[in-house]
Amino acid sequence: MTRENIEFQGEGGITLRGWFYPAQNATTPAPAVVMTHGMTAVKEMHLDDYAEVFAEAGLNVVVYDHRNFGDSDGQPRQENDPVLQHRDIRNAITYAINRPEVDGSKIGVWGTSFAGGHALLVAAIDKRVKAVVAQVPFISGSRQLAGAVRPDFVGHLREQFHGDRLNRFAGGEPARIPVITPDPTEPAMMSATDAYEWFSKTAADRAPNWKNEVTARSLEWASEYEPGSYISRISPTPLLMLVADEDTVAPFQYALDAYEEAREPKEIKVLHGGHFDAYGGPGFEECASAARDHFLRHLSA
């Protein structure tokens, strides 16, 4: 499928790079979907597969790497800032609207994993968004921290964050931690076994520019991020949540609790499997087709 390499300005003038997929068989300006990946992931990690499904259905698609990752600019490298990332999504919407192929009144946002949280937040505050899909979304940093770290270890973790802040204030290099580890007892951003297996395999097969490191401050910022708190403000924008019943990375129960707070129109689909099953096999087919149909229903009418 034909796609165009693109670049546009993110928040603060940072250059973001990605792909534009034109809507297939469109003779007039068509709707557009802005897509972003999860924490540390790059666009080559199956976002192209989703974009092709959407483009074949008559939707324009904007896909790009978050600042500090992949092909996009930004320093320090491998730093995951949720505030700047969701502001960049709003810049990507502006970029899409300014393309002649795009009907700027019909914009959708799709996010997965950590960016599934961004999708919820952006849809709540930016009413240019007319349909939103949050796939295996990150809901609450405080709940994630409480579920992942023993209470007696939290103070020690916060001391490490404070030490990194002091070091950076003095001009030192940011502390870094692995994204994944083969030993689930070792410190990492994602210690789950399925995270290690998916990132290792996907990076080797599709994304050699992915790096197994992230700044320690990224973990601190993630623990403070509460995109689920915005979910009741998404209405009247139609919401689709795609969740996995065995998800240990973005726990299933957190998504269900958030969904209860969302207002109509809303829909939820439950995928049988883990967090990463959405990116391949039957899980991909189920998620991609559900998202495609949601966008067509609400953007093409």
The whole-angstrom separation of Cα 239 and Cα 18 is 25
- 257 closest CA partner among 230, 228, 223: 228
pLDDT at residue 145 is higher than 80: no
Q: Are 178 and 212 in contact (CB under 8 A)?
A: yes
Q: What's residue 164's pLDDT?
A: 80
pLDDT in tens, 1-14: 899 999 999 999 99
Which tokens sit at 92?
């990507």
pTM of the model: 0.95
pLDDT beyond 90 at 187 = no
244 closest CA partner among 202, 192, 178: 192
pLDDT at 191 (0 to 100): 84
Q: Is the pLDDT of residue 154 over 90?
A: no
What's the number of domains the chain is made of? Answer: 1
Domain extent, residue 245, equals 4-141+225-299
Secondary structure of residue 41 in the 3-state scheme: coil
Longest CA–CA span in the chain (Å) reads 61
Q: Which residue did the predictor score with more confidence, 134 or 146?
A: 134
Model pLDDT, residue 151: 64
Q: Could you tell me whether strands 129-135 and 176-177 are parallel, antiparallel, or unpaired per DSSP bridges?
A: unpaired
pLDDT over threshold 70, residue 157:
no
Mean pLDDT, to the nearest integer, of 72-80?
97
For the segment 254-273, what is each residue's pLDDT rounded down to a tens digit?
Answer: 999 999 999 999 999 999 99
176 is a domain residue:
no
Spatial distance between the Cα atoms of 81 and 196, rounded to a whole number of angstroms: 22
Average pLDDT on 69-75 reads 98
Phi, psi of 282 (to 5 degrees): -60, -35
Position 258 in a domain: yes
Token reading at 39: 């924490």
CATH label of the domain that carries residue 33: 3.40.50.1820
In a domain, 252, yes or no: yes
Q: Is 195 among the domain residues?
A: no
Whether 289 shows a pLDDT value over 70: the answer reads yes
Handedness of CA 15, 83, 227, 40 (dihedral sign): positive
Residue 205 inside a domain? The answer is no
Does some domain include residue 52? yes
What lies within 8 Å, CB to CB, of 278 at 6+ separation is 112, 135, 136, 242, 244, 271, 284, 287
The pLDDT assigned to 51 comes to 98
Q: Nearest Cα to 233, choosing from 81, 107, 83, 127?
A: 127
pLDDT digits (tens, 9 = 90+) for 31-67: 999 999 999 999 999 999 999 999 999 999 999 999 9
Return the structure tokens found at 297. 């229903």
117 domain-assigned = yes
DSSP per residue, 62-127 = EEEPPTTSTTS--SSTT---HHHHHHHHHHHHHHHHTSTTEEEEEEEEEEETHHHHHHHHHHHH-T
> For 110-124, what is each residue's pLDDT tens digit?
999 999 999 999 999
Q: What is the pLDDT of residue 158?
A: 73
Give 177-186 pLDDT, tens digit per residue. Answer: 899 999 887 8
State the burial class of residue 2 (Cβ atoms within 10 Å of its Cβ: 0-12, 13-18, 19+): exposed
Look at residue 148 and tell me if it is in a domain. no
